[in-house]
């Protein structure tokens, strides 16, 4: 069975009630490719509001982060139960900004991934290398290291979507060529095949997450192992619809 195309929109630390209403209403009224799964991740303060605005079952809502405890004295953190309580169905974990700015280790990301899955939320798991690591030729080793931490804790990968995000291509305007992305995605799938078996590896969607936009998204169309995009800045703009429809 073919993997369903997946487009995620990570709003990051952007948005107001007015701008998020505009984005969601655009998705509600646009003609979206019915073969594309769409997930949007607003800031935590707007999760409840965003869920209330979404009118199409094709669009689901994700948090940008969650903690490894259900409740307690963890000031500033958000629990998976709270995400579920406001209607979020996904959480984005391991984003490079969490890893590089906030110091989240591979092991901590893995722990959060397991906790989220065990608590009934689906996970967009982000991995990827820095520019220095890419120049050193260790892209695959970095991706495998980050995935290995999760593999130690998680056996059922049916509710995980992997987002390969080359750190050097996030917010820089730089982007891997479709050929580069395909090569890296194919190597990720090869590693997953070794660890989880062919059938499971073939079922896992691997998104490209480095400065995808309305103009370059169609150029990835024929890449067998690129199963969609995790979009940053472009998810705040009208071109997000073009990215969702880029496989048509």
- Each residue's pLDDT expressed in tens, for the chain with a length of 248 residues: 589 999 999 999 999 999 999 999 999 999 999 999 999 999 999 999 999 999 999 999 999 999 999 999 999 999 999 999 999 999 999 999 999 999 999 999 999 999 999 999 999 999 999 988 988 999 999 999 999 999 999 999 999 999 999 988 877 777 788 999 999 999 999 999 999 999 999 999 999 998 889 999 999 999 999 999 999 999 999 999 999 999 98
pTM over 0.85: yes
pLDDT at 2: 86
Euclidean distance between CA atoms 68 and 116, whole angstroms: 8
Give the SS3 label for residue 55: coil
Euclidean distance between CA atoms 128 and 147, whole angstroms: 10
Under 8 Å CB-to-CB from 196, ≥6 apart: which residues? 151, 157, 204
pLDDT at 163: 98
Among this protein's residues, is 95 annotated catalytic?
Answer: yes
Among this protein's residues, is 185 annotated catalytic?
Answer: no
92: domain range? Answer: 5-244
pLDDT at 137: 93
pLDDT at 15: 96
Per-position DSSP letters for 90-146, written without gaps between them = EEEE--HHHHHTS---HHHHHHHHHHHHHTT-EEEEEE---HHHHHTT-HHHHHHHH
Q: What is the CATH number of the domain that holds 176?
A: 3.20.20.70
Domain total of the chain:
1
Token readout for 172 is: 């820089």
* Selected catalytic residue, list 60, 97, 104, 165: 165
| Residues belonging to the chain | 248
* Selected catalytic residue, list 37, 95, 97, 144: 95
Tokens 């969607």 sit at which residue? 205
pLDDT at 1: 56
């Amino acid at each position: 069975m073919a993997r369903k195309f997946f487009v995620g929109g990570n709003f990051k630390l952007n948005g107001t009630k007015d701008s998020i209403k505009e984005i969601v209403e655009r998705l509600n009224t646009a003609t979206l490719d019915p073969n594309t799964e769409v997930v949007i991740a607003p800031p935590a303060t707007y999760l409840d509001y965003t869920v209330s605005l979404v009118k199409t079952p094709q669009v689901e809502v994700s948090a940008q982060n969650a903690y490894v405890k259900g409740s307690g004295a963890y000031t500033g953190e958000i629990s998976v139960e709270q995400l579920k309580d406001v209607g979020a169905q996904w959480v984005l974990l391991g984003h490079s900004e969490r890893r590089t700015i906030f110091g989240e280790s591979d092991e901590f990301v893995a722990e959060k991934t397991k906790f989220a899955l065990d608590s009934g939320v689906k996970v967009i798991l982000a991995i990827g290398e820095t520019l220095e690591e890419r120049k050193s030729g260790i892209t695959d080793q970095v991706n495998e290291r980050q995935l290995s931490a999760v593999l130690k804790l998680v056996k059922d990968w049916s509710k995980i979507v992997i987002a390969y995000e080359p750190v050097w291509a996030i917010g820089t305007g730089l982007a891997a060529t479709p050929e580069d992305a395909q090569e890296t995605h194919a190597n990720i799938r090869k590693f997953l095949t070794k660890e989880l078996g062919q059938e499971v590896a073939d079922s896992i969607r691997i998104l490209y997450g480095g400065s995808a936009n309305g103009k370059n998204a169609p150029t990835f169309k024929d890449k067998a192992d690129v199963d969609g995009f995790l979009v940053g800045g472009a998810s705040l703009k009208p071109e997000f619809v073009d990215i969702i429809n880029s496989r048509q």
